[in-house]
Amino acid sequence: MKKVYKHLLGGTEGTIGLAALLILLAIILPASMDIFRLNLVGKYISYSFVAVGLVMLWGNAGVLSLGQGIFFGLGGYCMAMFLKLEASDPISTKIQSTPGIPDFMDWNQITHLPAFWVPFRSFPFAMAAILVLPALLAYVLGNAMFKRRVGGVYFAVITQAVALIVSLGIDGNQGYTGGRNGITDLRTLLGWDIRTTSAQYILYYVAVALLIGCILIGRMVLSTRMGRVLLAMRDREDRLRFSGYNVANFKIFVFSLAAMMSSIGGAMFVLQVGFISPSLVGIVPSIEMVIFAAVGGKMSLLGAVYGTLVVNTAKSLFSESFPQLWLFLMGGLFIAVVMLFPDGLAGIYTTVRRWVIRASKTRRPKVSQPVVAAELVNVEGD
Amino acid sequence: MSSNSDYLLSIEDLTVSFDGFKAVDSLNLYVDRNELRVIIGPNGAGKTTVLDLICGKTKATGGSIKFKGREMLGLQEHKIVHAGIGRKFQTPSIYENLTVFENLEISYPSGQSVFGCLGFRRTPAVIERIESVAKTVFLQDLLQVEGAFLSHGQKQWLEIGMLLMQDPELLMLDEPVAGMSQPEREQTVELLKRICEKRGILVIEHDMDFVEKIAHRVTVLHLGKFLAEGSMEAIRNNPKVQEVYLGH
Amino acid sequence: MQGFAGLSLFSVLLLMALGLAIIFGQMGVVNLAHGEFMALGAYVVYLCSQIVQDHLPSLQPYYFVVAIVIAFFVAGIFGMFVEWSMIRFLYRRPLDTLLATWGLSLIMQQAFRSIFGAREVTPTLPEWLMGSFKPSESIDIPINGVFVMGLSLLLTAGLALFIFKSRTGLRIRATVQNRQMSGAVGINTGLVDRFTFALGCGIAGVAGAAFTTIGSTGPDSGQRYIVDTFLVVVFGGSASMLGTIASAFTIAQGQSISEFFLEGTMGKVMTLTAIVVILMLRPKGLFPSKVRV
């Protein structure tokens, strides 16, 4: 039990932080908003999955991926394909020239369901695909690149290129993927109408629960030896090889983990928002997701959620009232986070906490500063 | 007396050339078990390159490096480590963000695969080993200090400690006392003599007094080639060596 | 005909890639806003065109070449400012440079949108750039294409000469290869960096100016080619100018050929996929640097 407390929940501090987030997401927000706004928050929560994955991949392992949209989209499209097939049963689509297939296929003169769509008729398959496909893709990409020691900037640019390739590929194949408009008009999940208010509340809570689950998984991984290995890898990758580690395997592992988390986010997005399109897959959304993690503090799992919420809230506020201003602000945000606030909101929180503790009269011995070794060891002569 | 296969490390005809420039040229070198060999030579002689070649950091263009009879050329770095070779770098290469304890723990040789790491337990055996190695390298009181806050000399010791955790049969140290104060150097001499009882050590150094205190044999390199080999005294009196390196 | 469209694309890619190769290949800095510097050059030419049209119509046939020179300097000076205010703090942090320059690109794009409007614009091109050579009935060589290509090759040659034969070029190469030593012999490495970055941006400006002859310019024109440009540089092995040229040629031709056979986006997808796959097999590119770092 003590181990769970320390590792999973993160000791006293970690538990309080997690509880605070849970209270915010599960109680305060639903109580203070109408369902429309809450649904928006639900959308932001879907993005948070990607940010949490990036905390593992970028903050801890030091690998920057500018293509996480690929995996978000993969999960989203898997879920959308399942829902679309459900909504395209022969009775509802009887006015089409070919009933029983999605409407956009009909518009593109496609007469039977393409082979890669067929398995998505099955719910278990779709669920499995949401987890397995992104992990598989990440594994393949990771193997191709990390085993060849492609890292850092090169890796980032290539993930950007792959994001472009995937989004263009979806875009250019309207008949098979819904093209630029994406897959829309989704109605029911196994007969349950996902558009009703009660459904939206339930889906919101499911998203929150899954998000907390991902955070706990992240904490668990980081609390093992893997956490220290990742930090070592981020700071001195070549040294780690000489400590006996096959660095590529670790990068592949974290990349796949982040991919899976992003994919779950994509699936929850589709359930709550009701559509998916290539505009959520390409270069721009992928790099925006990085800024969510950066604003939150790229080393902080909880921070990632706050960062996503803050940036997206600001985005909707500003793009309504000052659309021109928003892009300037967003660009400025990228620069500010890199140059002025590298630890993001989490860093600000830590600094403020330190001031508060110092300012209070009673000294709390819990927060210990690292001791400068030179003071401890008395070296004779010199 | 001993055939090639009895040597701990046998390097034969080792060559590496970068764009035509031969950093190491047809080098032969043999190290016994439990021997402390020091490699000296002027800058650019290829000393660090030899260590790079042995531990896999650089790829050789010719020759062979056999460790306990097994060919090491072409193996990946972590495999060479697992075979029993440990390397300390010229500038102290420790994990600054981790504590002394964690630096040593990371070097613990079991559970280093992905799933091994996830399931790794900090058992009493592990803790005991860490504490014992820390004691060997004079850092037993600094276990919770972050690497970044150690002094230069302490970082060198920590790096040696990290190597000891791996329990290598061949330890390679690149300038282990560079930047150390005199008392620290003396402690390091003691340390190396103690470690040498169980393994072979290859050292690169410039401090001749230090070399004299620790070396069993000395090899001199010049321009990537073997120049001379022998006891410290023999080397000191070798006219070729004097001309090229030691002066007088 | 298709072959020639490929050559125009080649010229633009080459110019963009040259600028980027200087910045990335030589300095290791990743400038995701490089495309926006190109757009800046294009907008400068457009501005010149408007000014000449409204106030100095007699200069119409001559303004274009001058405008290109102005574009070079405007982009270069702005590049200098960016290096001074932002880039020089991020030299050891390439991933952070990526993010910061992306932010810069967003700001620049929005600035273009606010100043010039969201719609695409074209400068009025001088007479002598319009039309084409017709050496025979079936061969039709557009003059603007020839101009752009000529400009690219001229600039490439000029750049090569500059970097390898001039004193400043020597300083640049020295700083890149051994910063500390260069500083020790009295080279002001900070200034060299600023100059190098500005040079790369200036060339992007020229690329933009050249681009106006073959296409219109909008606020997000820079985004269109940035990924391709990076791939050109990485594919060519970023340390080599020869590699950059070969790579730009291959990729441009590859793209226009595949666009001919497959429809629009799928052509681009094919080319990009091919490049990425090749890069994964040969991560150092076509002409990797063999020097021991």
Verify whether the Cβ–Cβ distance B145 to A371 is below 8 Å. Answer: yes
pLDDT at C4: 58
Cβ contacts of B81 on chain A, cutoff 8 Å: 241-244
Question: What is the three-class DSSP state of C226?
Answer: helix
C267 vs C3, higher pLDDT: C267
Verify whether the Cβ–Cβ distance B78 to A382 is below 8 Å. Answer: no
Q: Which residues of C217-244 are buried (b: 16+ CB within 10 A; e: fewer)?
A: bbbbbbbebbbbbbbbbbbbbbbbbebb
Contacts of A336 (CB under 8 A, 6+ apart): none
Q: Residue A230: which of A250, A256, A257, A260 has the closest Cα?
A: A250
The arithmetic mean of pLDDT across residues A87-103, rounded, is 84
Pairing of strands B70-71, B62-67: antiparallel
Verify whether the Cβ–Cβ distance A290 to C90 is below 8 Å. Answer: no
Residue B145 to residue B157: CA distance in whole angstroms: 14
Verify whether the Cβ–Cβ distance A370 to B146 is below 8 Å. Answer: yes
Are the C-beta atoms of A264 and A207 separated by less than 8 Å? no
Of B87, B141, B149, the CB nearest to A370: B149
Residue C157 to residue C145: CA distance in whole angstroms: 18
C257 vs A232, higher pLDDT: A232
pLDDT at A365: 57
Touching subunits of B (3+ CB pairs, under 8 Å) are A, C
Angle between helices A123-146 and A152-171 (to 10 degrees): 140
Verify whether the Cβ–Cβ distance A66 to C98 is below 8 Å. Answer: yes
Is the predicted pLDDT of residue A5 greater than 80, yes or no?
no
Residue A21 to residue A41: CA distance in whole angstroms: 13
Is the predicted pLDDT of residue C136 greater than 50, yes or no?
yes
Nearest CA in chain A to C235: A154
Digit-coded pLDDT (tens) for B1-10: 445 567 889 9
Cα–Cα distances in angstroms (integers) from residue A103 to residues A168, A273, B56, in the given order: 21, 19, 59
Nearest CA in chain B to A241: B78
First to last CA, chain B: 36
Q: Which residues pair with B170 in a beta bridge?
A: B85, B200
Q: Residue A259: which of A289, A298, A230 has the closest Cα?
A: A289
pLDDT at B206: 83
pTM for this prediction:
0.89
SS (H, E, C) C93-118: CHHHHHHHHHHHHHHHHHHHHHHHCC
Are the C-beta atoms of C235 and C288 separated by less than 8 Å? no
Nearest CA in chain B to A148: B76
pLDDT band for A369, please (50, 70, 90 cuts).
Answer: low
Verify whether the Cβ–Cβ distance A244 to B107 is below 8 Å. Answer: yes
Q: Residue C146: which of C11, C270, C293 has the closest Cα?
A: C11
> Strands (DSSP E) along chain A, which ranges?
188-189, 192-193
Is the predicted pLDDT of residue B49 greater than 80, yes or no?
yes
Reported as type and span, the H/E element at residue C142 is strand C141-142
Q: What is the DSSP letter of B246?
A: I
Tell whether A327 is within 8 A of chain C (Cβ): yes
Residue A124 to residue A119: CA distance in whole angstroms: 10
Residue C25, judged by CB atoms within 10 A of its CB (0-12, 13-18, 19+), counts as buried
Q: Which residues pair with B157 in a beta bridge?
A: none
Neighbouring C-beta atoms of residue A356, cutoff 10 Å: 9
Digit-coded pLDDT (tens) for A275-303: 999 999 999 999 999 999 999 999 999 99
Residue B181 to residue B242: CA distance in whole angstroms: 27
Shortest alpha-carbon distance between residue C149 and chain A (Å): 26
The mean pLDDT value of chain A amounts to 88
Of A153, A327, A335, the CB nearest to C109: A327
Is the predicted pLDDT of residue C6 greater than 70, yes or no?
no
pLDDT band for A375, please (50, 70, 90 cuts).
Answer: very low
Are the C-beta atoms of A92 and A290 separated by less than 8 Å? no
Token duo for residue B182: 């005199």
pLDDT band for A374, please (50, 70, 90 cuts).
Answer: very low
Cα–Cα distances in angstroms (integers) from residue C122 to residues A5, C49, C208, C224, C279, in the given order: 65, 9, 12, 17, 36
Verify whether the Cβ–Cβ distance A157 to C231 is below 8 Å. Answer: yes
C236 vs B182, higher pLDDT: B182
Token duo for residue C216: 């219109």
Residue C257 to residue C2: CA distance in whole angstroms: 7
pLDDT at A97: 82
Residue A99 to residue A87: CA distance in whole angstroms: 11
pLDDT at A23: 92
Q: Residue C226: which of A194, A157, A308 has the closest Cα?
A: A157
Residue C49 to residue C57: CA distance in whole angstroms: 10
- Across A40-44, A313-317, C114-118, the highest mean pLDDT is recorded for A40-44
The mean pLDDT value of chain B amounts to 88
The arithmetic mean of pLDDT across residues A250-273, rounded, is 96
pLDDT at A175: 85
Digit-coded pLDDT (tens) for A125-154: 999 999 999 999 999 999 989 998 887 888
Residue A382 to residue B37: CA distance in whole angstroms: 29
Tell whether B81 is within 8 A of chain A (Cβ): yes
Verify whether the Cβ–Cβ distance B106 to A232 is below 8 Å. Answer: yes
Are the C-beta atoms of B94 and A238 separated by less than 8 Å? no
The arithmetic mean of pLDDT across residues C98-114, rounded, is 93
Rounded to an integer, what is the distance from CA B242 to the centroid of its chain?
26
Tell whether C293 is within 8 A of chain B (Cβ): no
Q: Residue A261: which of A6, A45, A31 has the closest Cα?
A: A45
Cα–Cα distances in angstroms (integers) from residue A163 to residues A168, A267, A350, C264, in the given order: 8, 18, 35, 18
Residue B87 to residue B58: CA distance in whole angstroms: 13
A167: Cα within 13 Å, side-chain hemisphere: 24
Are the C-beta atoms of C40 and C253 separated by less than 8 Å? no
Q: What are phi and psi of A109, to 5 degrees?
A: 60, 35
Residue A262 to residue A289: CA distance in whole angstroms: 10
pLDDT band for C137, please (50, 70, 90 cuts).
Answer: low
Residue C173 to residue C179: CA distance in whole angstroms: 10
Q: Residue C250: which of C10, C4, C12, C8 has the closest Cα?
A: C10
Query: Which percentage of chain B shows pLDDT scores above 90?
Result: 40
Residue B107, judged by CB atoms within 10 A of its CB (0-12, 13-18, 19+), counts as buried
Are the C-beta atoms of B37 and B201 separated by less than 8 Å? yes
Digit-coded pLDDT (tens) for A166-221: 999 998 888 888 888 999 988 888 888 888 999 999 999 999 999 999 999 999 99
Tell whether B76 is within 8 A of chain A (Cβ): yes
> Complex ipTM above 0.90?
no
pLDDT at C258: 80
B77 vs C187, higher pLDDT: B77
Q: What is the DSSP letter of A369?
A: P
Name the residue with tokens 């006996």.
A244
Reported as type and span, the H/E element at residue C236 is none
C59 vs A270, higher pLDDT: A270
Cβ contacts of B118 on chain A, cutoff 8 Å: 221, 224-226
Touching subunits of A (3+ CB pairs, under 8 Å) are B, C
Of B107, B109, B145, the CB nearest to A373: B145
**Count of positions (residues) in chain B:** 248
pLDDT at C230: 83
Reported as type and span, the H/E element at residue C78 is helix C63-85
Cα–Cα distances in angstroms (integers) from residue A75 to residues A51, A125, A265, C103, C261, in the given order: 15, 12, 7, 28, 32
Residue B220 to residue B123: CA distance in whole angstroms: 45
Are the C-beta atoms of C26 and C177 separated by less than 8 Å? no
Query: Which percentage of chain A shows pLDDT scores above 90?
Result: 58
pLDDT at A373: 45
Tell whether B44 is within 8 A of chain C (Cβ): no
Residue C248 to residue A299: CA distance in whole angstroms: 39
The arithmetic mean of pLDDT across residues C94-113, rounded, is 92
Digit-coded pLDDT (tens) for C36-87: 999 999 999 999 888 888 887 777 777 888 888 999 999 999 999 999 999 8
Cα–Cα distances in angstroms (integers) from residue A167 to residues A44, A84, B51, C159, C203, in the given order: 21, 20, 47, 36, 30
